[in-house]
Chains A and B, each alone.
Chain A
Amino acid sequence: MIEQSTVEAALAAGLEGGADFAEVFVEDRRSTSAVLDDGRVEDVASGRDRGAGVRVVVGGTTGFAHTADLSEASLVAAARDAAAGAVGSGNAGAAVELNEVHAPNPNPVSVLPEEVDKAHKVALLGTAEQAARAAGAQISQVSARYSDSRRRILVANTDGVLASDDQVRTTFSVSAVATGDTGMQTGRESIGHTVGFELFDTHDVADLGRRAARRAITKLAARPAPTGQMTVVIGPGGGGVMFHEACGHGLEADLVNKGASVFAGRVGEQVASPLVTLVDDGTVPGEWGSAAIDDEGRPRRSNTLIRDGVLVDYMWDGIRARSEGRESSGNGRRQSYAHLPMVRMTNTYLLGGSTDPDDIVADTPNGVYIAHLGGGQVNTATGDFVFGMTEAYLIENGRITEPIREGNLIGNGPAVLSAIDAVGNDFAMGPPGTCGKDGQGVAVGDGVPTLRAHGLTVGGTAA
Chain B
Amino acid sequence: MHQNDAATPGPPEELLAVAEDLVASATGDEQVEVVLARGASTGVKVHGAEVESFTSAGSAEAGVRVIREGRLGFASCGTLDSAVLAETLREARDNCRFAEPDDHNGLARPDGVEAVVHDTWSDDVLLLTADDRIDAALQLEAMALGSDPRVSAARSTVHSAGWSQSALVASSGIRVTEAETYASISTQPIAREGEETQIGWSVDAARGPGDLDPAKVAHEAVERATKLLGAGRPTTGRMPVLLDARLSVTLLSLVAGMLSGEAVAKGRSPFAERLGETVASPLLDLSDDPTRTDSPGARSFDGEGLACRPNPLLRAGRLETFLYDSLSARRAGRRSTASAVRSVRGLPSPGAQLLVVEPGPHALDAIRSGVELGIAVESFSGLHSGVNPVSGDFSVGADGVMIRNGELAEPVKELTLASTLQRLLLEVVAVGSDFEWLPGGSGGASMLIDEVSVAGA
Please indicate the chain B residues that have their CB under 8 angstroms from the CB of A85 in the complex: 51, 53-56, 130
Nearest residue (CB) in B for A380 is B199
Nearest residue (CB) in A for B419 is A461
Binds B, one of A36-44, A303-311, A422-430, A442-450: A36-44
Q: Say whether A353 faces chain B, with CB atoms less than 8 Å apart.
A: no
Q: Is the CB of A388 within 8 A of B55?
A: no
Q: Say whether A65 faces chain B, with CB atoms less than 8 Å apart.
A: yes
Nearest residue (CB) in A for B265 is A38
Q: Say whether B29 faces chain A, with CB atoms less than 8 Å apart.
A: no
Q: Say whether A212 faces chain B, with CB atoms less than 8 Å apart.
A: no
Please indicate the chain A residues that have their CB under 8 angstroms from the CB of B456 in the complex: 228, 457
Please indicate the chain A residues that have their CB under 8 angstroms from the CB of B96 in the complex: 44
Please indicate the chain B residues that have their CB under 8 angstroms from the CB of A65 in the complex: 55-57
Binds B, one of A89-97, A157-165, A272-280, A405-413: A405-413
Give chain A nearest CB distance to B304 CB in angstroms.
15
CB-contacts of A59-88 with B (<8 A)? 60-69, 81-82, 84-87
From B99, B196, B397, give the contact of A42 (CB < 8 A): B99
Please indicate the chain B residues that have their CB under 8 angstroms from the CB of A268 in the complex: none
Q: Is the CB of A51 within 8 A of B78?
A: yes
Residues of A in contact (CB 8 Å), total: 82
Q: Is the CB of A459 within 8 A of B418?
A: yes
Q: Is the CB of B416 within 8 A of A43?
A: no
Cα-based distance from A374 to B382 in the complex (angstroms): 10
Binds B, one of A176-184, A196-204, A285-293: A176-184
Q: Say whether A14 faces chain B, with CB atoms less than 8 Å apart.
A: no
Q: Is the CB of A406 within 8 A of B100?
A: no
From A45, A260, A387, give the contact of B385 (CB < 8 A): A387
Nearest residue (CB) in A for B78 is A49
Please indicate the chain B residues that have their CB under 8 angstroms from the CB of A64 in the complex: 53-56
From B55, B84, B384, B414, give the contact of A375 (CB < 8 A): B384
Binds A, one of B112-120, B368-376, B386-394: B386-394
Please indicate the chain A residues that have their CB under 8 angstroms from the CB of B414 in the complex: 384, 410-412, 457
From A179, A340, A380, give the contact of B55 (CB < 8 A): A340
Interface centre among B75, B397, B413 (most CB of A within 10 A): B397
Please indicate the chain B residues that have their CB under 8 angstroms from the CB of A40 in the complex: 100, 102
Nearest residue (CB) in B for A262 is B197
Q: Say whether B287 faces chain A, with CB atoms less than 8 Å apart.
A: no
Q: Say whether B155 faces chain A, with CB atoms less than 8 Å apart.
A: yes
Q: Say whether A229 faces chain B, with CB atoms less than 8 Å apart.
A: yes
Cα-based distance from A84 to B153 in the complex (angstroms): 27
A118 with B87: in contact, given A177-B268, A386-B382, A406-B386 (CB under 8 Å)? Answer: no
Give chain A nearest CB distance to B439 CB in angstroms.
15
Nearest residue (CB) in B for A373 is B385
From B52, B92, B397, give the contact of A410 (CB < 8 A): B397
Please indicate the chain A residues that have their CB under 8 angstroms from the CB of B98 in the complex: 34, 41, 44, 118-119, 121-122
A43 with B72: in contact, given A84-B130, A118-B98, A141-B267 (CB under 8 Å)? Answer: yes
Q: Is the CB of A37 within 8 A of B266?
A: yes
Q: Is the CB of B390 within 8 A of A184?
A: yes
Please indicate the chain B residues that have their CB under 8 angstroms from the CB of A186 in the complex: 388, 390-391
Q: Is the CB of B53 within 8 A of A457?
A: no
Give chain B nearest CB distance to A411 CB in angstroms.
7
Please indicate the chain A residues that have their CB under 8 angstroms from the CB of B391 in the complex: 183-186, 219, 405-406
Q: Is the CB of B455 within 8 A of A258?
A: no
Q: Is the CB of A382 within 8 A of B413?
A: yes
CB-contacts of B17-70 with A (<8 A)? 47, 50-60
Contact with A along B62-90 (1 / 0, CB 8 A): 00000000001111111101001001100
Cα-based distance from A141 to B268 in the complex (angstroms): 8
Size class of the B contact interface (CB-based, 8 Å): 35 or more
Contact with A along B171-206 (1 / 0, CB 8 A): 000000000000000001010100011110000000
Cα-based distance from A84 to B382 in the complex (angstroms): 40
A43 with B347: in contact, given A38-B266, A228-B455, A388-B382 (CB under 8 Å)? Answer: yes
Please indicate the chain A residues that have their CB under 8 angstroms from the CB of B192 in the complex: 259
Q: Say whether B402 faces chain A, with CB atoms less than 8 Å apart.
A: no
A379 with B95: in contact, given A84-B1, A388-B386 (CB under 8 Å)? Answer: no
Q: Say whether A376 faces chain B, with CB atoms less than 8 Å apart.
A: yes
Give chain A nearest CB distance to B164 CB in angstroms.
14
From B51, B54, B76, give the contact of A48 (CB < 8 A): B76
Q: Is the CB of B236 within 8 A of A227?
A: yes
Q: Is the CB of A386 within 8 A of B386?
A: yes
Q: Is the CB of B57 within 8 A of A386?
A: no
Q: Say whether A338 faces chain B, with CB atoms less than 8 Å apart.
A: yes
Contact with B along A216-247 (1 / 0, CB 8 A): 00010000010111000000000000000000
Please indicate the chain A residues that have their CB under 8 angstroms from the CB of B413 in the complex: 382, 384
Q: Say whether B300 faces chain A, with CB atoms less than 8 Å apart.
A: no
Please indicate the chain B residues that have their CB under 8 angstroms from the CB of A86 in the complex: 54
Please indicate the chain B residues that have their CB under 8 angstroms from the CB of A270 in the complex: none
Please indicate the chain A residues that have their CB under 8 angstroms from the CB of B453 in the complex: 227, 459-461
Q: Say whether A377 faces chain B, with CB atoms less than 8 Å apart.
A: yes
Nearest residue (CB) in A for B395 is A407
Give chain B nearest CB distance to A152 CB in angstroms.
14
Give chain A nearest CB distance to B28 CB in angstroms.
22
Q: Is the CB of B100 within 8 A of A379?
A: no
Q: Is the CB of A183 within 8 A of B95?
A: no
Interface centre among B59, B238, B414 (most CB of A within 10 A): B414
Cα-based distance from A241 to B99 in the complex (angstroms): 35
A69 with B416: in contact, given A258-B190, A406-B386 (CB under 8 Å)? Answer: no
Q: Is the CB of A258 within 8 A of B388?
A: no
Please indicate the chain A residues that have their CB under 8 angstroms from the CB of B223 in the complex: none
Q: Is the CB of B87 within 8 A of A42?
A: no
Cα-based distance from A118 to B81 in the complex (angstroms): 25
Cα-based distance from A47 to B345 in the complex (angstroms): 8
Give chain B nearest CB distance to A389 CB in angstroms.
9
Nearest residue (CB) in A for B48 is A60
Cα-based distance from A98 to B280 in the complex (angstroms): 65
Q: Is the CB of A48 within 8 A of B59?
A: no
From A41, A60, A84, A460, give the contact of B99 (CB < 8 A): A41
Q: Is the CB of A406 within 8 A of B266?
A: no
Q: Which 8 A-B pairs have the closest CB atoms?
A: A459-B416, A388-B385, A407-B395, A85-B54, A408-B386, A386-B382, A386-B397, A381-B199
Residues of A within 8 A of B (CB): 34, 37-38, 40-51, 60-69, 81-82, 84-87, 118-119, 121-122, 140-141, 177, 179, 183-186, 219, 225, 227-229, 255, 258-260, 262, 338, 340, 374-377, 379-382, 384-388, 405-412, 457-461, 463
Task: Pick 25 A–B contacts, CB within 8 A, sort by A.
Answer: A43-B95, A60-B50, A61-B52, A62-B52, A62-B53, A63-B55, A66-B58, A68-B60, A119-B98, A177-B390, A183-B391, A184-B267, A184-B270, A227-B454, A258-B156, A340-B55, A377-B381, A381-B199, A386-B397, A386-B416, A408-B395, A410-B397, A410-B416, A459-B395, A461-B395
